[in-house]
A and B are shown apart, each in its own frame.
Chain A
Amino acid sequence: MTKVMAQLAMVMNLDKCIGCHTCSVTCKQAWTNRAGTEYVWFNNVETRPGQGYPRTYQDQERWRGGWELNHRGRLRLKAGGRLRKLFSIFANPLMPSIQDYYEPWTYDYDRLFSAPMQDDTPVARPKSLITGENTKISWSANWDDNLAGGPELAPADPVLRKLSDQVKLEFEQAFMFYLPRICEHCLNPSCVASCPSGAMYKRSEDGIVLVDQDRCRGWRMCVTGCPYKKVYFNHKTGKAEKCTFCYPRVEVGIPTVCSETCVGRLRYIGLILYDADRVAEAASVADEKDLYEAQRSVLLDPNDPEVIAAARAEGIPEDWLEAARRSPIYKLIFDFGVALPLHPEYRTMPMVWYIPPLSPVVDVLSGTGHDGEDADNLFGAIDALRIPIGYLAELFSAGDPEPVRNVLRRLAAMRSYMRRINLGREPDESIATAVGMTGERVEEMYRLLAIAAYGERYVIPKAHAEQGARLEESMSGCSLDYEGGPGMGGPFGEASGMPVPVAVENFHALKDRQTTGALVDPEDRQNRVNLLNWDGKGTPDGLFPDRNGRKQP
C-alpha cells in the first residue's frame, strides 16, 4: 500500500542562467526587505566554482548539515541527536556567523545632498549596517561573482576540494556557470527534524516547508540542520525564516516571484506525486551514489491507475492529479531524464532539481577550434572531459559522473538534432537513438526547454478552499502579517504602512535604533499606532507615550 502525497517541485535549467540576479532582487524585495533580514537572501545566485552563500556552506565536515547513516545504517542528523543538541542549545558552534554570510552595509547617500560646498563632488561611502560605522567592504552576498578573486577564493570551494589535483589544475582553464538556489523543500527535511520547538513543518497538501512564527523559539538548530543553509535567523524578531515557495502565490496558481521574474525563463514548477512511506528507506540506502536513483524511485508515475487510485484514497483532488499528469517536473525527471537533484548525498531528498549546464563543454570545444554543436564532437568531449563533468557530478549525483554524463549527452543530442532541422536538413534519427530517445521525444524536449510557453513551464494547481483549515492561514487576515513579517500590514507592526526597504531611507533610522540602549526608539515614527486601523481593543505599544521610561500597561 502506498501513501501518496503531492509535492510542489521546481527544476532549473542551468544552461539558461545568465547570472543577472533578477530572481534574487525580486525575491528580496518581496520577502526580506525588512529590519532583521538585511543579510538574508531566500534566493541567491552563486558562481561556480566559488564559495557560495554563506561561504563554504557545502562543507558538511565543518557545518554538519543534513543526515548521515549511523553504524546500524539508520538515518541520524549529522549535527547529532537530541542529547548533543541539548548540550549545545545555548552555544551552537555549527552556525555560520554573520561574516560567513556577509556584513550587510548601506551607503551614506544623505551626504550627496547634505555635503557642504567643496572642491570635489561628494560621494556616499559605505557604512556597516551592523555597527553603523564606516567600513571597507570585504565580503558580500556574491563576492566571487564571475570568478572574481578566483585564485585566492575558489580553492576553498568545498566542491572543488573534493576533486583530484589534476582536475584542480584544469580549473585554470576558467570554466564557470551560475547556480541559482532557493530552499529545496526536501522530502526528508533535516531542518524540520532539527527543530526542538516543533515550529518547522512540511505542509501536507503540497510539501512546502515552513516555519510557524508563533512556535519558533529561535534556537536556530534548523540553520545548522539545513545543509543548504537556506533557513535564516531574523535577528530582530529572534525567529527563523526561510523561502516559502511563495505559498500565497502558488495557492492561487501563479508561480513564485523568482520564477515569474526569471529573465532566462529557466525555472519550471509542477507537481510530483511520491510515496511518503518509502522516503526514509530511500534516504537510507548505503551507497551515496545510489541516492539519485533511490530518490527517483520514491516519485510516482501520475499516469499509473494504481497510483491514481491510491492518491484518490488519500484525498488528493482531481485537478491536482491532472496537474501532476501535466507536470513539467515529471517530464524533465522521467520522460526526458535531464533533471538531477542538488547534493543527493545530504540525504534530505531535495525537491528543487537542476538540468546541468552543457555550455561549459561547448565552450571548451569551440575554444579549441571544434564545431561545438556537432553530435560526435560533443559526445566525444563529454566522455573525455573530466572537468566540468567531475565538478557537476559532485553537485548533482554524489560524485558519480554517469548520471551527469547521460544528461549532457541528451542535451548535446538535442542541440545537434535540432540544428540539422534548423538548417533545413533531414532529421537524423540516429542522433536521438544514440542517447536512448526518439526524434519525436527530442522535439518534445526541445519544445519544453527552448520554447517553454508560460503555461507549460508552470503547471500549478490552485489550493482548495475546502482545505482552508489545513492551509495554516490564520483566521484573522494575512498569515504573513506577524510582527516584523513581510506582511506587516497591521497597525501594530514595525511599519504601519508600506514595508520599508533596507536602504538609504532607513539607514539613519536603523543606525539610531542600533545605537540606543532602548528596545525601541520612542521618536521612531514606525512605532506609532495607526489610529485609523485600531480596533479599540487593548492598548498596543506606542498608543500612549512612555511614562518614566516604562510602557503603559
Chain B
Amino acid sequence: MDRLRGMNGTVHGGVADGRPSLARDTDMCEAILALSGTTNGHLAAQGFATLARRTGTGFDGLADEHKKITFADTQARPVPVTTSPEWSGSETGGRRYSAFTINVEHRKPWHTLTGRQHFFLDHDWMHEAGEALPIYRPPLNMTVLFGEPGIGEGGEQGITVRYLTPHSKWSIHSEYQDNLLMLTLSRGGPTIWMSPADAARAGIRDNDWVEALNRNGVVVARAIVSHRMPTGTVYMYHAQERVVDVPKSEASGRRGGIHNSLTRLMIKPTHLIGGYAQLSFAFNYLGPTGNQRDEITVIRRRSQEVDY
C-alpha cells in the first residue's frame, strides 16, 4: 500500500482519507498490478510462504520477490509475468507456462477433495445421474426431445445431419481467421463443410450458398464439399465473422446468423452442483461439457441469388 501511495499519491479527506489515490485510469491499472502476485513479486513470495505453511511442502525459488511490474512497463513492451500461487504453472527462469507444474514438482495438493487427481465424484447427484465416474453419453436424441427430423432424413429439399462447431486450425474465435489476408487464403467468408455423399443427396455443389436450419435458428453460408468429411456430419468452424459476407436468410428474412445461431445451452442438474470440494456453481457457461455443440440441423441448397 505504501508503494502504491508512493506511485499514485494519497487521498486527503473523505471516506478514502489516507488511501492510495485511484483518481485516474492509470492509477487503477497500477493498483491492479500492485495487488496481483503475477505482477508484484513480493505478493507472490508471500503467497508461496503462506501456501508452504498450509501444505507442508516447499516452494522456494519460484517467486521473483523483487520483481515489480508497473503500468509504464506494460506500455513499453509486453512483460512476462512472474510465477505466483494464483496459477498452477511455473514461468521461473524463462520457462514456458504449463498447467499444474507446481502441483507435480512441488507437491502442492490438487484442489480436490482428496488433494490428488481423481476421476471419482462422490456426490449424491452424480451418483443419481450414474456419472460418479467418467462415462460415455451418446448425443441427445433431438428428434424425440425437440421434434427435429431424424438424422439422414430428407433429400433435395434438405437433409438432416449432425452439426458440429469445432475450432479451425488457425484461429481463436475470429482472430485471425477473419482479416483480409487470411480470408484471401481460404474461402473468404462463412462456410459449412460437408461430405460429398450428403452434398449429392441435397443437390449441393462446392461453393453453393446453403442454409442450415433448426429449432434454434438459421445460418447462411457457402458449402465446402470435401472427402475429408464423414457422411452424416457437417462442420461449421467456430466463430466466423458475423459482419463479413453474411447475407439474409430465406427462411427468416433476417441476417443469416453465425455458428451459434443453431446451438443452445442445455442445463442438466449436475451442472448446478456447488459448494462441494472442487465443484462450485457460477452463473456463467453452464457445465463442463459442450453438449450444445452436439446439434443436428437441416441443411439445404438455397437460392443462389443472395441479398445483403
Contacts and interface: CB of A to CB of B under 8 A. Distances in A.
Interface of A: 18-21, 24-25, 28-29, 45, 102, 104-107, 112, 119-126, 136-138, 140-143, 145-153, 172, 174, 176, 502-504
Contacts of A153: 206
Given A112-B243, A125-B245, A504-B180, A145 B186 contact: yes
- Residue among A24, A119, A125, A504 with the most chain B CB within 10 A? A125
B188 A105 contact: yes
A351 to B, nearest CB: 26
B180 A28 contact: no
B226 A146 contact: yes
Given A24-B185, A147-B228, A152 B243 contact: no
Nearest to A171: B227
Given A123-B255, A148-B226, A149-B225, A107 B245 contact: yes
Given A24-B185, A145-B185, A121 B180 contact: no
B74 to A, nearest CB: 24
Contacts of B224: 148-149
B226 A147 contact: yes
A151 B248 CA distance: 29
Contact of B227 (A24, A25, A174, A502): A174
Contact of B186 (A121, A122, A140): A140
B206 A140 contact: no
B169 A19 contact: yes
Contact of B187 (A25, A29, A147, A148): A148
A151 B245 contact: no
A138 B207 contact: yes
A29 B182 CA distance: 12
Given A146-B226, A151-B206, A152-B206, 16 more contacts: A18-B169, A21-B182, A25-B181, A28-B181, A29-B181, A45-B185, A107-B245, A120-B248, A120-B254, A122-B243, A124-B245, A145-B187, A150-B226, A151-B225, A174-B228, A504-B180
Nearest to A119: B254
B193 interface: yes
A149 B195 CA distance: 10
B55 interface: no
A150 B227 contact: yes
Interface in B196-226: 196, 205-207, 224-226
Given A112-B243, A149-B224, A126 B248 contact: no
Contacts of B196: 150-151
Contacts of B186: 140, 142, 145, 148
Nearest to A112: B243
Contacts of A123: 242-247, 255, 308
Nearest to B255: A120
A121 B255 contact: yes
Contacts of A176: 228
Interface residues of B, number: 34
Interface in B4-34: none
Contacts of B191: 148
A253 B191 CA distance: 43
The 3 A-B pairs at the shortest CB distance, nearest first, are namely: A120-B255, A137-B188, A149-B206
Interface of B: 169-170, 180-189, 191, 193, 196, 205-207, 224-228, 242-248, 254-255, 306, 308
A107 B179 CA distance: 10
A149 B308 contact: no
Contacts of B255: 120-121, 123
A503 B184 CA distance: 11
Contacts of B189: 126, 137
A19 B188 CA distance: 17
Q: Is the interface of A mostly helix, strand, loop or mixed?
A: loop
A136 B303 CA distance: 14
A149 B228 CA distance: 9
Nearest to A143: B187
A121 B243 contact: yes
Contacts of A140: 183-188
B170 A152 contact: no
B96 to A, nearest CB: 14
Contacts of B185: 21, 24-25, 45, 140-142, 145
A148 B193 CA distance: 8
22 contacts: A20-B169, A21-B170, A28-B181, A102-B184, A104-B184, A107-B183, A120-B248, A123-B242, A123-B243, A123-B244, A123-B247, A123-B308, A124-B244, A137-B189, A142-B185, A145-B187, A147-B228, A148-B191, A148-B226, A152-B205, A172-B227, A504-B180
Nearest to B207: A138
B148 to A, nearest CB: 26
Nearest to A29: B181
A140 B246 CA distance: 18
Nearest to A20: B170
B226 A121 contact: no
A245 to B, nearest CB: 21
Contacts of B228: 146-147, 150, 174, 176
Contacts of A503: 180
A125 B224 CA distance: 19
B211 to A, nearest CB: 15
Contacts of B226: 146-151
Nearest to A122: B243
Contacts of B205: 152
A152 B244 contact: no
Contacts of A107: 180, 183, 244-245
Contacts of A19: 169-170
Contacts of A172: 227
A146 B245 contact: no
Contacts of A104: 184
Contact of A126 (B169, B193, B245, B254): B245
A149 B225 CA distance: 5
A172 B226 CA distance: 10
A18 B169 CA distance: 8
B243 A502 contact: no
Contacts of B184: 102, 104-105, 140-142
